[in-house]
A and B are shown apart, each in its own frame.
Chain A
Amino acid sequence: MSLLTPNRFSRIVNIPITLAQTELRRSKSIRIGDWAVKLGQKLQVKCLTVHLVKVLTPGPLADYNNTALGMASVGVYFGPMMCSPLVYASAGNVGAFTVNPFTTYTFLSPGIYSVVLSNNTNNLDLSVVVTGSLKLYT
């Protein structure tokens, strides 16, 4: 096993993901951050949590744009396509939901990776918090 030298350690970047409590309007998404992964680099998702604090629109049942992603979801996307996150946490109701912290999601293919928070309903406004951490090995 190789030793973790200061030189190596200095090239491991911990990227915090934080979005303070935010009103997320229906059908909208917020791009929290983009990171370019170059050849030879490695991006790992260590933890990612979406906390659906409150449904701001009283009354109606959710009308989903994306049934599979619940009311709100935060995920890592590759490139501009917004179909399915490569890894995601989905809130189907009020509460905190996190990407499985016992699994390491590793991305090595060069490209731009984004963390995007989405309101997957078209009739509810939501109050949402996102926290998380990525690790970029440069």
Chain B
Amino acid sequence: MAGKLESALVIVLRDSIRWESSLDYGTSTSGTLVPVNPAAVFDPQRYQYRDRQLSYRDLINAAAIVEVAVDVSDVYNYPAPKPMMEGPVWPQMPAADPAVFPTSGTNFSQVRHVGNTSIAYDAARYADADLYGRDYLIFETLARAAETAFTVPSITRLDAAGTVIPSSGSTAWSLAQGQMLQSDINSALPLNRDLFKLPDRNLADRDNQMAGYTARLLQVFQNPFAFAERLFVQISGTEGMEPEVYALISDDGVDRTWVAEPALSNRNQIKYSILDKTLTWTRENVDEVHVPQLYAMSIPGIEVGQTVDTIPSVPDRKDAQFWRAKAGQIVPEGQMLTDGHYLNFTASDAASDGLLQIPAASMTVPDRLILTVSSGSLEAGPHRVSLLVKPQPIVEIAGASNTTQTSGTLGGATWETNVASGAVAEQAYLVEGGDGVVYLAGTYLPGDVFYGTSTSSVYNQVGASASTVRQYATSWALALPPGAWSLTLDYTNLTGNTTGFGVRAEYVPSSSSPVDVIQDIVPLAFSGANGDLVTSPPGYFDVATPDAFRLNVLWTYGDGDFHLRQLTFESTDNEVGRFDLSGTLGTGTARVNVTGQRYQPDVMKLDMTSGSFSPVVLTLQTGTYAELPLQVVQVHIQSIGTYTPTALSSEFQGWRQECVERAERAVQQSWNEAVSAYRKIGFPVFYTAGTSWNYVNTENWMSVVEVKHPRLREMDYPAQITPGRQYEVTVAPVVYGSDTYQAGDKFYGVLSTGTLVSSGSVKQVGAFAKAKPGHIGKPCLVPLGIEFVQFTDAVIVNLTGTLCMPIIAACQPWMVEAGFYAAQSDFWTPDFL
């Protein structure tokens, strides 16, 4: 390329370019100079304007140099020299004006100054044209280099086709008698050679300075490895690694060495031999040697087809998943927890004993609860069982959880109507209408109740007028802490018409007479559509002992089809309860003896050592205290081990925390992008009903956060393949598009390839995963303004929409219940030292 300006390297640079008498006067936009008409009367001001405009063009060059130098600093972290400026100038040279700059075959860096035999017009015709051309040459040279060196050029070329300045030619830079004179054309001065020559020599000097700066920048472009303090390198080919930042760690005058973050001595390294001008890549964990390669932006790697590409651009913003991978490269010292079996919902067949409530299995009084956490096996060794628990003064029992085998839709209990002869079970039945029925030698008239037994399922009509038989009672067995309790029923009518149900509820202690809790003097009203749930007024009763009792609900009269969906018991006696809980896991046992606040979720930790066994069954036993019912919402088992720390990493104990903070910033930046894309108006509102927040709101919020951050969260069973997100094969083979992937392989969703995989299964890759009870204290992603309102069991968010910025906070039990996402284990550090 012409005008590489190497010879300008000899110029001693000054640290600034003075404004002097520079004048834009259209220079920055039109690129022309004030014209001079040699046939007109001599006007020295026109010559003065031209020099001032040329001076301004030097400022444009200076601004362009600053622009490029800043980019060099950003890309290579090398403090490239740049002149200080005395005012703002747009760093783009306008296209050349052919009237001023007749190009062809000239030496662009020379200046034909006026002599004693020149006429005034020669200063415009030759000297100004040459000075104009020098400006052009400097800018074009710099722009070409920037275009070649940077992915995104700092400045735009003037001569894209290379017609004005050819791509080959002399590289010598003429100093053109440049001298800092700060001289100007003035009509008050004598009209002689120096009137024109001295200002032109000053302009030539300014050009020389810009050429010197440009030459130094070009040196960096020619061989950034001799200067760079940071490289952004992509190993492509067989590795498929993400681009990494390599930081300069040594420069001994013989070799310059960069190492990838975290800068451990055994990490990926790139070494530049100053003498040999070769690059060598040392790859971590591999013994194969990289043959030194002559320096270039792209060199062959260790393996066939592999290349080491130095990317000439500012390192792009990394996402949280990148920082997760980075965090995992340093293993700290201390106790290690490894996630294992997890039961996220206990109100299921996984629970036995205890009391099965609608939200979770529970122990309402000292009791035993057995939870089958997994059908898999548990390895021998120390484990931590973390229980997400909630002391609840509200006990919610599904209608179907009765002792009389009465089932119904949506987990409720539906009283059987029009029971046919031959269908009598072990229930209480009411005879309605007709002449009555005979069952097991007993005669029951309308309004009478008889109890079915296993002896016979058949009844007979007494007379010609047939009676109907329907279920009369359903019973539940449970135990509650002593004290005052209320009971409400959620009921509905399923078929037919009714205005209400005569319903009586009885509290039947084991050793006492039944006590009416809800009386049937007035029927429970029903006026809505069939299926609409109605909550009864509360009935009150006292529980004397924590022993088991029976609760009977009797449908004594009324038309329709009575369905009881849920029974709700509530106590206001105790705000705080004590829990003495022991857990058994295989051969291991542990104990927790703590106090609990009603409504407030918390996590009980049980550390124990067990032998290997299968299935994974956890037995919990509470004792002594019967103050508040305790729901066991989730169970999480982790194995306790010890990290094997990364060699020579003792100075990097804070690395994982650093990565957490970088991940947080990356997520916040992408959130801002999403906010910018959505705009404030129409931005989703995440809360429900005022400021309330639950796990559904969390999912909605996360889905917005990940709009601009595709690798945000891990999901085991994504509904579909989403373009831009990354997936890992969990069950092979997976076919996506025309490619087949094996277990552990990762691929990105592509719009044109579709949203489905045709076999196997995948999980979505991300830096955060659903928080589990064992993650308390770990970094957790939550929206700004989120709050757990103590004493009310409410999670609220105090900010709306765009203000719900994702932030990292220590995970708390209520965050687990609200479905927030915690940082993956690669980010974790030991809890204590």
Contacts and interface: CB of A to CB of B under 8 A. Distances in A.
A69 B656 CA distance: 25
A3 interface: no
Contact of A81 (B590, B602, B830): B602
Contacts of A98: 832-833
B602 A109 contact: no
Contacts of A108: 782, 784, 786, 807, 809
Nearest to A98: B833
Interface string A60-92: 000011111100000000111111111111100
A106 interface: yes
Interface in B585-603: 590-597, 600, 602-603
B568 interface: no
B389 interface: yes
Given A81-B600, A111-B788, A66 B592 contact: yes
Contact of B595 (A68, A82, A112): A82
A111 B790 contact: yes
Contacts of A105: 777, 810
Given A84-B776, A99-B831, A106-B808, A68 B600 contact: no
A65 B593 contact: yes
Given A67-B608, A82-B594, A83-B389, A100 B832 contact: yes
B201 to A, nearest CB: 45
B813 interface: yes
B605 interface: yes
A93 interface: no
Contact of B607 (A67, A112, A122): A67
A103 B831 CA distance: 8
A99 B594 contact: no
B564 to A, nearest CB: 33
B808 A103 contact: no
A102 B593 CA distance: 30
B483 interface: no
A66 B595 contact: no
Contact of B591 (A65, A103, A107): A65
Contacts of B545: none
B657 interface: yes
A83 B602 contact: yes
Nearest to A37: B787
A64 B602 contact: no
Nearest to A105: B810
Contacts of A67: 590-592, 606-608
A106 B600 CA distance: 20
B798 interface: yes
Contact of B790 (A79, A85, A88): A79
Interface in B518-536: none
Contacts of B600: 79-81
A100 to B, nearest CB: 5
B576 interface: yes
Interface in A16-72: 27, 39, 64-69
B334 interface: yes
B505 interface: no
A55 B324 CA distance: 42
A25 to B, nearest CB: 15
B595 A81 contact: yes
Contacts of B334: 100
B785 interface: yes
Contacts of A89: 832
Interface in B760-778: 776-777
A104 interface: yes
B315 to A, nearest CB: 17
Contacts of B790: 79-80, 111-112
Of A78, A81, A98, most buried by chain B (CB within 10 Å of CB) is A81
Interface in B190-238: none
A64 B603 CA distance: 18
A107 B813 contact: no
A83 B604 contact: yes
Contacts of B592: 65-68, 83
B697 to A, nearest CB: 15
A83 B593 contact: no
B830 A109 contact: no
A86 B812 contact: yes
B268 to A, nearest CB: 24
Nearest to B334: A100
A23 to B, nearest CB: 21
A30 to B, nearest CB: 15
A86 B229 CA distance: 42
A109 B809 contact: yes
Contact of B332 (A64, A90, A102, A107): A102
Given A83-B603, A84-B776, A90-B832, A102 B653 contact: yes
A96 to B, nearest CB: 10
B829 A100 contact: yes
Nearest to B582: A67
B684 interface: no
Interface in B631-667: 653-654, 656-657, 661
Nearest to A74: B832
A78 B332 CA distance: 28
Contacts of B784: 108
B593 A66 contact: yes
A107 B605 contact: no
5 contacts: A67-B607, A90-B832, A105-B810, A108-B809, A111-B788
Interface of A: 27, 39, 64-69, 78-90, 97-112, 122
- In the complex, the 9 A-B pairs of residues with the closest C-beta atoms, listed nearest first: A83-B602, A68-B605, A67-B590, A65-B593, A68-B607, A102-B654, A102-B653, A81-B597, A105-B810
